[in-house]
């Protein structure tokens, strides 16, 4: 099987070979970097919410980095939702970097310069996209 031509998609596929569920790793990193986020989740049932939120985010990221068929619009919807929850925009956007950094650590030596450049560019584009959603 050849690697996908999309480096973002490739990073997720490589990660899936090493880890069945990114959720605990992503949220552990989020809570370490942004401890204030831990109180944003209920104590009971939060694992399901976190897993669902991450799955939807990954789907939106893959679409945003790919063909942009519509799933990426979830980012705009969630910007508005999180604004309503009182989540600072910078914190909302930081979640994408947390995902990237989790993948980078998981991939280790397979985190290529091409993947790194693609993620850097993606984060710039997501930041710009989220910034215009007011």
Could you read off the pLDDT of 8-18 as tens digits, one per residue?
A: 999 999 999 99
pLDDT at 68: 85
**Residue 98 Cα to chain centre, angstroms:** 7
pTM: 0.89
Pairwise pLDDT comparison (91 vs 100), residue with the higher score: 100
Q: What is the mean pLDDT of residues 59-69?
A: 92
pLDDT at 103 over 60: yes
């Amino acid at each position: 099987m050849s690697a996908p031509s999309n480096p973002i998609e490739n990073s997720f596929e490589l990660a899936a070979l090493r880890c069945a569920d990114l959720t605990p790793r992503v949220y552990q990193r989020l809570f370490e970097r942004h401890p204030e986020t831990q109180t944003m989740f209920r104590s009971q049932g939060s694992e399901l919410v976190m897993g669902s939120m991450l799955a939807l985010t990954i789907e939106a990221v893959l679409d945003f980095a790919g063909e942009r068929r519509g799933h990426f619009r979830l980012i705009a919807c969630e910007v508005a939702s999180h604004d309503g929850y009182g989540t600072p925009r910078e914190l909302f956007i930081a979640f994408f970097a947390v995902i990237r950094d989790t993948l980078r650590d998981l991939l280790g030596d397979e985190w290529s310069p091409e993947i790194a450049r693609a993620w850097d560019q993606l984060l710039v584009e997501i930041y710009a996209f989220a910034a215009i959603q007011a």
